[in-house]
Structure 1
Amino acid sequence: MASKKSILRKIQIVITKHFDTPEDAFNFFDKSGDGKLSKKEISRLLKEAEINGFIRGIVTSKLIEGYDKDGDGYISWKEFKVAVNEISKKTK
């Protein structure tokens, strides 16, 4: 099973290598355009990061659990920025 650090590194690679800014990444994965990432949209980001199906479901839930500060079940742009900053620090 992939380690937390390797999963975070894969997420960081997708965000930094394929997009000019974290906001571009957020907007790309926010397919509904509602300013929030749903479980399905976060799962799509993880799929791009080559996180396999079984782990992807667990990681999606853990990301929402860890970064959804307002408790609405989604990741807002503000919450996404916090996550990206923490991921950047943890993968150095």
Structure 2
Amino acid sequence: MSTKEVILNKIQILMTKNFDSPEKAFQFFDDNGDGKLSKKEIINLLKDAEISGFIRGVVAVKLIEAYDKDTNGSVSWSEFKFAIDEILN
């Protein structure tokens, strides 16, 4: 299994075990309630998913690059939902 697959699998486990819906997960990690996940908030999500501290920052940047369709430097609810749908499928 590649590193990417391991990371996505850990995120999937976090989402399915701890939250009733992706929306509840998003709200939980959106610390300031602005409707977007910042790099710091994504790092917290990755920490809860037990992603190694050594690579957490790099993974957060890569996730933002991959899913931030409006290029505002954060992940909105619709972008997050797209990412989670992709991970769960």
TM-score category (smaller protein):
over 0.9
CA distance in 2, matches of 1:16, 1:40: 22
CA distance in 2, matches of 1:80, 1:22: 8
Q: Quote the offset at 1:3 in angstroms.
A: 1.0
Q: Aligned ranges for residues 1-92 of structure 1 at < 5 Å? A: 3-89=3-89
Unaligned runs of 5+ in 1: none
Which residue identity lines up with residue 43 of structure 1 in the other structure? Answer: I
CA distance in 1, matches of 2:16, 2:31: 19
TM-score normalized with structure 1 length: 0.93
Task: Kindly provide the CA deviation profile for residues 32-67 of structure 1, in whole angstroms up to 9, marking residues without a partner as x.
Answer: 000000000000000000001121111100000000
**Over aligned residues, Cα RMSD in angstroms?**
0.9
Q: Quote the offset at 1:82 in angstroms.
A: 0.4
TM-score normalized with structure 2 length: 0.96
Count how many residue pairs are aligned between Structure 1 and Structure 2.
88
The SS at the match of 1:33 is coil
Deviation >4 Å, runs of 4+: none
